[in-house]
Amino acid sequence: MAQPQQSDRPSKYGMDSVSHDDRCRMVSIAWADGHTSRFPYIWLRHARYFPSLGRPDQAHETDFVLPEEPTTLSVAAIEAGDQSLLVHWKHDGSTTEHLISFLRDNCPSDEARRERQPLPVRWSGADAATFEWFEAADLESPAARLEIFQRVRDKGLALVRNVPTEPGTVMDLAKHFGPVRRTHHGSLFNIRSLPEDRQGVRANIGATASNTLAPHTDEGFRHAPLGIMLFHCLKPDPSGGGVSTFVDGIAAAEDLKHSNPDAFAFLRSTPMVLAAERNKQERFRTRCKLIATDGAGVVRGVRMADRTLPPVDLPVEEIEVAYVALRAFCSELYASYRVFEHLFQPGEMAIFDNQRVLHSRKAFNREAGERHIQQVSIERDEFHNLFRQLAEEMGRFDLANWEPDAGALCQD
């Protein structure tokens, strides 16, 4: 929900007319651009204090006070000013003020609510090969940074080049996108081709091995999986191996909806176990839906990793069904036309949404020399929070007034 913006300026939205109807307890606004908004009286009564936004300048009570019972409300008159509406209530003689911009920014019509929930832009491997790369200098420019935020929101993948190759740089760059998440791996994850006897607890698990990996999302075994990843190449495999791959998991799940509706319905509705018990430091286990959809049935997040999917833990009669569904989903996810391949060079960086985009790398030769990638992750909500703040600071209200989805944690 957009914050009300107090200003001496007239509202950026023009109104043609305002009316109210006590029989259906509704205030209607006809806007100059042809849009119509209808606000139930009860919504306006709640909005008078904006209590859920917790603004320090708003009146508040000791206890959370919900508005009155809806059928008791009635309106005597409404006055429209440049910036706000004054609603004079008949049932208790009070007057409430409502900023016009707040009303329009939070219009509850189906159309306006849809517009505030932007749809993912799906892509194939060939599409991703045409994505424009950003420059490291863009990260210092608020306008360009806004484009990076938007690219990650809409496509889940932004590519950046000419990033300094000083180890630790990715930690500095992350500050533009939110605080770095700390896990049992620490904050900065080094993906480094070390001799096996120096790999410690990470020996030969996933990223630290040198074999080809299947496309996967990272650490879906957490209740809240890792969010936005910054993947920074310092040194590629000198022999040319270790090609990185990315797959749009949302596109795959949306296609599964049509290619195998039963599999899609099963995976979006049946929580399954993901777990990691690869060494003494890991006893992770969660139960989650591998395809997360929102209330409109739109796929907003996926989780998939062959290496952290244990034998299915479901009622016996559902086990075969689960494997059939998994097979169908994997055949969509791993279809070759979905895969974007790129051999990252020193100073190249991918910023991707780990709750949407699967990644992997092909085998490389550990004996050929050091391959070194550094990676950090940022919570998706922190990322979206900075995105919306920046948009608001820059007066880009088209990018400030939207509702972030919860990714792999979406509930329908």
Report the length, in residues, of the chain: 412
Q: Which is nearer to Fe ion, 218 or 348 (CB)?
A: 218
What 3-state class would DSSP assign to 62? Answer: coil
Contact between 390 and 191 (Cβ < 8 Å) = no
The candidate with the shortest Cα–Cα distance to 360, out of 249, 276, 243, 248, is 243
Closest contact distance (angstroms) between CB of 221 and Fe ion is 12
Q: Which is nearer to Fe ion, 216 or 289 (CB)?
A: 216
For 48, residues 6+ apart whose C-beta sits below 8 A from its C-beta are 96, 97, 98
Q: Which is nearer to Fe ion, 218 or 237 (CB)?
A: 218
Q: Which is nearer to Fe ion, 25 or 380 (CB)?
A: 380
Provide the pairing of β-strand 134-135 with 157-161.
Answer: parallel
Region of residue 228 (phi > 0: left; psi between -120 and 50: alpha; otherwise: beta): beta
Closest contact distance (angstroms) between CB of 150 and Fe ion is 25
Q: Quick one: CA dihedral 317, 318, 323, 328, positive or negative?
A: positive
Closest contact distance (angstroms) between CB of 393 and Fe ion is 34
Cα 364 from chain centroid (whole Å): 32
Q: Which stretch binds Fe ion (CB under 5 A): 106-114, 210-218, 273-281, 313-321?
A: 210-218
Cβ neighbourhood burial of 152 (10 Å; 0-12, 13-18, 19+): buried
Q: Which stretch binds Fe ion (CB under 5 A): 64-72, 79-87, 217-225, 315-323?
A: 217-225
What is the rounded CA–CA span in Å between residue 176 and residue 182?
A: 17
DSSP letter assigned to residue 278? S
Q: Which is nearer to Fe ion, 37 or 208 (CB)?
A: 208
* Binder among 105, 218, 353, 405 for Fe ion (CB under 5 A): 218
Closest contact distance (angstroms) between CB of 164 and Fe ion is 24
Closest contact distance (angstroms) between CB of 344 and Fe ion is 14
Q: Which is nearer to Fe ion, 47 or 309 (CB)?
A: 309
- Axis-axis angle for helices 249-259, 316-333 (nearest 10): 120
What is the rounded CA–CA span in Å between residue 177 and residue 203?
A: 31
Tell whether residue 353 is a contact of Fe ion (CB under 5 A): no
Q: Which stretch binds Fe ion (CB under 5 A): 61-69, 96-104, 155-163, 212-220?
A: 212-220
Contact between 224 and 381 (Cβ < 8 Å) = no
Closest contact distance (angstroms) between CB of 197 and Fe ion is 23
Q: Which stretch binds Fe ion (CB under 5 A): 91-99, 211-219, 276-284, 374-382?
A: 211-219
Q: Which is nearer to Fe ion, 25 or 303 (CB)?
A: 303
Closest contact distance (angstroms) between CB of 229 and Fe ion is 8
Nearest to Fe ion by Cβ — which residue? 218
Q: Which is nearer to Fe ion, 263 or 358 (CB)?
A: 358
List the x/- string, 159-198, binding to Fe ion by CB under 5 A. ----------------------------------------
Closest contact distance (angstroms) between CB of 185 and Fe ion is 11
**Tokens 């699967």, residue?**
358
Cα 344 from chain centroid (whole Å): 25
Enumerate binding residues for Fe ion (CB under 5 A): 218
